């Protein structure tokens, strides 16, 4: 298994909703990442988990809450989002020694 | 703070010709350099990389060149094929750092 799987692929949520994005990999990678990508922009780092511990939080608003329950899973809990949070949310993973990331196909989030 | 720049938002090339994508950076702490390719509605996929101790890395039709003194990275695709049409991101990483910085991307169109 050489993939990063993200679910759901598409999500539409209201500003008062609570939802979660899920990311899974079974490559034994011990670093996992959440990126946010707006249209025609590069991916922007949100969070980094290394060995299931949060190591980088790029000043992301608290309405985004990451969780890494084990080495294969990464969640992003969403609450009280704003329309400007609509974007493609990408999960990625890497081996500690491997400088390349494997990205998931992303969740296209629309906040209405 | 744009540490990584891809100054050409788009590039159009005839099938069979060479495509050259460029990337410039400002921070000399970067020592690992990657190219990612992204199709619409998919996550970026790793293409090719180079470490700072080399100036060239070749993989099939893809060659990455690094000029450290000029802080310049380029990707050559030859011969270009219509299936190469995608957005190409350069990504830079400092040693032992989980954070990657992406350029804004260049949309390559290869015309049959």
**Across all residues in chain A, what is the average pLDDT?**
91
Neighbours of B75 (CB within 10 A): 23
Residue B44 distance to chain A (closest CA, Å): 6
Give pLDDT tens digits for A98-111: 467 889 999 999 99
At residue B96 the predicted structure's pLDDT band, cuts being 50, 70 and 90, is: low
Min Cα separation A50/chain B (Å): 8
Whole-angstrom Cα distance, residue A39 to residue A20? 21
Mean pLDDT of the A89-102 span: 79
Paired sense of beta strands A107-111 and A10-13, if any: parallel
Say whether pLDDT at B98 is over 80. no
What is the DSSP code string of chain A?
---EEEE-SEEEE-TT-EEEEEEEE-S---EEEEEEE-TTS--EEEEEEETTEEEEE-S--TTEEEEEEETTEEEEEEES--GGG-EEEEEEEE-TT----EE---EEEEE-
- For residue B87, with 0-12 CB atoms within 10 Å meaning exposed, 13-18 middle and 19 or more buried, which class applies? buried
Residues of B in contact with A104 (CB under 8 A): 43
- Residue B62 distance to chain A (closest CA, Å): 16
CB A8 within 8 A of CB A73: no
Q: Does residue A93 sit at the B interface (CB-CB below 8 Å)? A: no
CA distances A1 to A24, A25, A28, A72, Å, are 11, 8, 10, 12
**pLDDT value at position B28?**
83
pLDDT by residue (tens digit) across A17-28? Answer: 999 999 999 999
Of A48, A50, A100, the CB nearest to B46: A100
pLDDT tens track for B37-76: 998 878 888 899 999 999 999 999 999 999 999 999 999 9
């Amino acid at each position: 298994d050489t993939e990063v799987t993200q679910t759901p692929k598409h999500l539409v949520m209201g500003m008062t909703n609570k939802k979660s994005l899920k990311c899974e990999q079974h490559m034994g990678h011990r670093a996992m990442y959440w990126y946010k990508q707006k249209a025609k922009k590069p991916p922007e780092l949100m969070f980094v988990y290394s060995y299931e511990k949060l190591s980088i939080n790029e000043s992301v608003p608290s309405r985004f809450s990451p969780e890494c329950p084990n080495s294969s899973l990464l969640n992003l809990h969403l609450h009280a989002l704003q329309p400007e949070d609509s974007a493609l949310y990408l999960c990625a993973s890497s081996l500690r020694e491997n400088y390349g990331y494997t990205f998931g196909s992303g969740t296209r989030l629309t906040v209405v | 703070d744009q540490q990584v720049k891809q100054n050409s938002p788009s590039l159009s090339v005839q099938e069979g010709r060479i495509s050259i994508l460029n990337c410039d950076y400002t921070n000399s702490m970067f020592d690992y350099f990657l190219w990612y390719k992204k199709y619409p509605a998919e996550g970026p996929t790793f293409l090719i990389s180079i470490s700072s101790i080399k100036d060239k890395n070749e993989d099939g039709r893809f060659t990455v060149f690094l000029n450290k003194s000029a802080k310049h990275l380029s990707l050559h695709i030859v011969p270009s094929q219509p299936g190469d049409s995608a957005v190409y991101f350069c990504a830079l990483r400092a040693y032992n750092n989980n954070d990657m910085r992406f350029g804004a991307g260049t949309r390559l169109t290869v015309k049959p």
